[in-house]
Amino acid sequence: MDVTTLLIILLVGAFATYFSGDKWAPKVALLVGLTAFASALCLLSQYNLGNEISYNQLWISKPKIYLAFQADGLALAMLLLTTALTPIIIFSSFGNTYKNSKAFYALIVFMSFAMSGTFLASDGLLYYIFWELALIPIYFIALIWGNGDAEERKKSVVKFFIYTLAGSLFMLIAFVYLQSKAGSFLISDLTKLNLSSTEQFWIFMAFFLAYAIKIPLIPFHTWQAKVYQKAPTVGTMLLSGIMLKMGLYSVIRWQLPIAPLAAKEYMYVFIGLGIAGVIYGSIVALRQKDLKKLLAYSSLAHVGLIAAGAYTLTLDGLRGSVLQMIAHGFVVVGLFFVAEIIYRRYETRKIAEMGGIRAQSPKFTSMFMLLVLASVALPSTFNFVGEFTVLYSLSQVNIWFAILGGTTIILGAYYMLKMFQHVMLGETNAKLFADVTFNEGLTLVIIIAVLFFFGLYPKPIMDLITPSLENILTQINRFN
């Protein structure tokens, strides 16, 4: 068994979901998601046993393009994140009904396929294809099943699409240029190139445009809040939980090893951009009146820190950012799900119209509280492990970065707890709030369990990712 099995399961699953009809589509999609997760676990165990799970075959002879999938620890970790979150996201949507649900769920599964491919591909062009493919389903999910006024939604979704496409096309030029130097798109060839520092600078910038828009980093973030708000919650979860991790992952996998000189030379600029995102996102989040928008800006702050960690070019920085990617993926899905649960009962996302939920639904309150605590990186949660490692690596570069980046914890705690207070506490709300159903509870419990388990015992993930990060680090330092 190699990694293509998993991709085939997801691709075939997407079609199976579509053809199973509106009634069965959610269940089939869930089944496909779970099968994919199981096969990802299978791959993991094979990898740990030392078996070959990569796949490599010539696809197009001129120019040389390979169907090359390489699963190292880092890719596997991201693959596990994707395949674990996909069934959770699908399951979380069971309380809603969508018209034309066969297409809806098929798109979700297809997107999961494209994102898994992005994490696994080790040929630049193949990677680019998956990268772009992931964009099409989310475009339609947000456009057709989103909420709010159709005209306004259209505007924000099209902006998102054109932004991300524009960024990635420059990445395509960079890849084509690299290919003309190296003779193939394989990452193993690209990281061997001896590029001059000017070339590296331009290539780095072309990649940066693609990733900074996707992640998003300041000042390329303007698409984000609107799209998160307008997309259906499932779409928001896919975007924030997995898709923006594609950008962060690609920084570590492609950008840094291919153009390390530029990364070193302008390190302060890029770390600075990340930190600026942290502070900007936190301050703007403070003032949000819409729950989903608040979460969007908090997400902006968190990913800023993750990117800053990656751009430190230290092992701790890379490791911290990968850990934080996974942790953030789970916590953000959980938080958006909480927003959705409230929306199902109160049909509003305005924080001012909530409040006084605590007394009516103790179970929901405690789960929400745990998620908020995880999000602000309370010790013993997974997020603490990630965030602390990143801050530590920043302090090694420059103590001021760590101090400024550390505001994420203080400001984060402030706006998240304030939000919690306004949403949940206060006098008991006149409107009835039913406590979580079994399905909703199960979803939240799974997410919380993951966050706390790895918060207390992060070693398995550390062990999984560290060797591949060390490899990447040697590639980054090959010019010294």
Instruction: HSE, CB side, 13 Å, CA atoms: give it for residue 268.
Output: 3
8: contact with other proteins by CB under 8 A? no
What distance in Å separates the CA atoms of residue 415 and residue 289, rounded to the nearest whole number?
A: 11
Q: Which two tokens stand for residue 208?
A: 């940066």
- Per-state percent for the chain, helix, strand, coil, to nearest 5: 80, 5, 20
Site stretch for other proteins (CB under 8 A), options 23-31, 128-136, 235-243, 433-441? 128-136
| Cβ closest to other proteins, residue 133 vs residue 286 | 133
223 is written with which tokens? 């698409």
List the one residue out of 185, 186, 206, 148 whose CA is nearest residue 350. Answer: 148
Query: Nearer Cβ to other proteins, position 60 or 403?
Result: 60
**112 touches other proteins (CB under 8 A):** no
Beta carbons of 461 and 454 less than 8 angstroms apart: yes
Stretch that binds other proteins, among 49-57, 170-178, 285-293, 403-411 (CB under 8 A): 170-178
Residues 6+ apart with CB under 8 A from 191: 257, 258, 475, 478
Instruction: Report, in Å, the least distance between residue 136 CB and other proteins.
Output: 7
* Using rule CB under 8 A, residue 158 touches other proteins: yes
Stretch that binds other proteins, among 153-161, 242-250, 399-407, 427-435 (CB under 8 A): 153-161
| Whether the bond into 257 is cis, omega within 30 of 0 | no
Beta bridge partners of 58: 66
Cβ neighbours, 10 Å, residue 4: 17
x/- contact string, 236-255, with other proteins (CB under 8 A)? --------------------
- Distance from the Cα of residue 9 to its chain's centroid: 22
Question: Is position 176 an interface residue for other proteins (rule: CB under 8 A)?
Answer: yes
CB atoms within 10 A of CB 472: 21
Would you say 26 or 124 has its CB closer to other proteins? 124
Shortest Cβ distance from residue 132 to other proteins (Å)? 5
Q: Is 405:280 a contact under the CB 8 Å cutoff? A: no
Stretch that binds other proteins, among 174-182, 302-310, 419-427, 462-470 (CB under 8 A): 174-182
Whole-number minimum distance, CB 209 to other proteins, in Å?
A: 11
> Is 154 one of the binding residues for other proteins (CB under 8 A)?
yes
Q: Is 67 in the site for other proteins (CB under 8 A)?
A: no
Size of the site for other proteins (CB under 8 A): 32
**Interaction site with other proteins (CB under 8 A):** 59-63, 103, 125, 128-129, 132-133, 135-136, 140, 143-144, 150, 153-154, 158, 161-162, 165-166, 169-170, 172-173, 176-177, 179-180
